[in-house]
Amino acid sequence: MTGTGTGVSQPILNVAGLRAGYGPIEVLHGMDFTVGLGEIVVILGANGAGKTTTMRCVSGMIEREGTVEFQGRDIASAKPDAIVRAGISQVPQGRGTFSDLSVNDNLLAGAYTLKDSYDDDLDYWYRTFPRLAERRDQKAGSLSGGEQQMLAIARAMMSKPKLLLCDEPSLGLAPIVTQELFRILGRLRDELGMSLLIVEQNAGLSLALADRAYVLETGSIVATGTGAELLVDDTIKEAYLGVVT
């Protein structure tokens, strides 16, 4: 584990004063957070706190106001395809695999923005997820939830991103599958040097993995610290781990 906490010398993603919403309803009321290079940052929040909205702001899926800088470049008004090309890829909530397309076509779609050859990457992800290699010609919709989550991660990685966004990756997965999933996310950081921004409700596993974490409540950041610090914080324990203190 690298849980350094303060070492945000090189933020790959810098978000400040982020506001967004749907129609007249504002969901995010001025959020500030950063993701350092090679860091896993978790934003913890309950249903309706604004986790998915935060993700959609970074990936350019909705209108947003404020500062969103990626590698020092302003992307606050960039469109989703430009953001993918810049090096940010998102694993959407509920997997979002192309259910009617084969596993292989899902991965090829992930490489849509690449101009050069991606055969090496395809091989790499099939070696990393042998289950996907076995099912490469099957429709993605026929995979189990855990397999679909692996596919969604591999698809997102096919665009060769520098920052990976994961929207509630543990949602709907069995605990043992969730553990496996978080191990894989940890390997992306440790072996490939990826930076990850993960929004989650599952505090236990995600905080154990996180270098740093933020707590999001009704559209505002209310607490921040290292994963280890928040894991032993009494308020967090009570609100997100179901531990009565």
Partner 1 sequence: MMLAASDLSLFVERFINGLADGSIYALLALALVVIFRSTGQLNFAQGEIGTMGAFFVSTLTLTGLPVLLSILLALVLGFAVGAGIERVVVRPIELRNPSAVIVALIGVFLAMNQLTALIWGIDARSLPSLFPNEADDFVTILGAPVRIARLGTIGVLIVVLILLYLLFTKTKIGLAMRAVANNQESSNLVGIRTGFILLLGWGLSGSIAVLAAAMLAPSAGLTGSLMLGPFLLASVAAVLGGLDSPVGAVVGGLIVGLVQAFLVGYHPSIGSIELTPDLLYPVMLVILLGVLLFRPTGLFGSEKVERV
- Figure out which of the listed residues 54, 97, 149, 202 binds partner 1, where binding follows CB under 8 A: 97
Q: Note whether 169 binds partner 1 by CB under 8 A.
A: no
DSSP 39-77: -EEEEEE-TTSSHHHHHHHHTTSS--EEEEEETTEE-TT
Beta strands 220-226 and 212-217, pairing class:
antiparallel
In the chain, what is the greatest distance between 2 CA atoms, to the nearest angstrom?
Answer: 55
Identify each DSSP E strand in 57-200 by its residue range: 65-70, 73-74, 88-91, 163-167, 195-200
Rounded least distance, CB 194 to partner 1, Å:
17
| C-alpha–C-alpha distance, residues 119 and 157, integer Å | 13
- Figure out which of the listed residues 38, 110, 225, 227 binds partner 1, where binding follows CB under 8 A: 110
Q: Using the rule CB under 8 A, give the single segment among 65-73, 144-152, 185-193, 216-224 that binds partner 1.
A: 144-152
- Figure out which of the listed residues 5, 7, 96, 186 binds partner 1, where binding follows CB under 8 A: 96
| C-alpha–C-alpha distance, residues 88 and 164, integer Å | 6
Written as one letter, the residue type at 205 is L
- Figure out which of the listed residues 81, 123, 134, 190 binds partner 1, where binding follows CB under 8 A: 81
Q: Which is nearer to partner 1, 139 or 237 (CB)?
A: 139
Q: Using the rule CB under 8 A, give the single segment among 20-28, 107-115, 119-127, 129-137 that binds partner 1.
A: 107-115
- Figure out which of the listed residues 21, 172, 186, 204 binds partner 1, where binding follows CB under 8 A: 172
| C-alpha–C-alpha distance, residues 177 and 155, integer Å | 18
Q: Contact positions toward partner 1, by CB under 8 A? A: 59, 61, 79-81, 84-85, 89-90, 92, 96-101, 105, 108-110, 112-113, 141-145, 148, 155-156, 159, 172
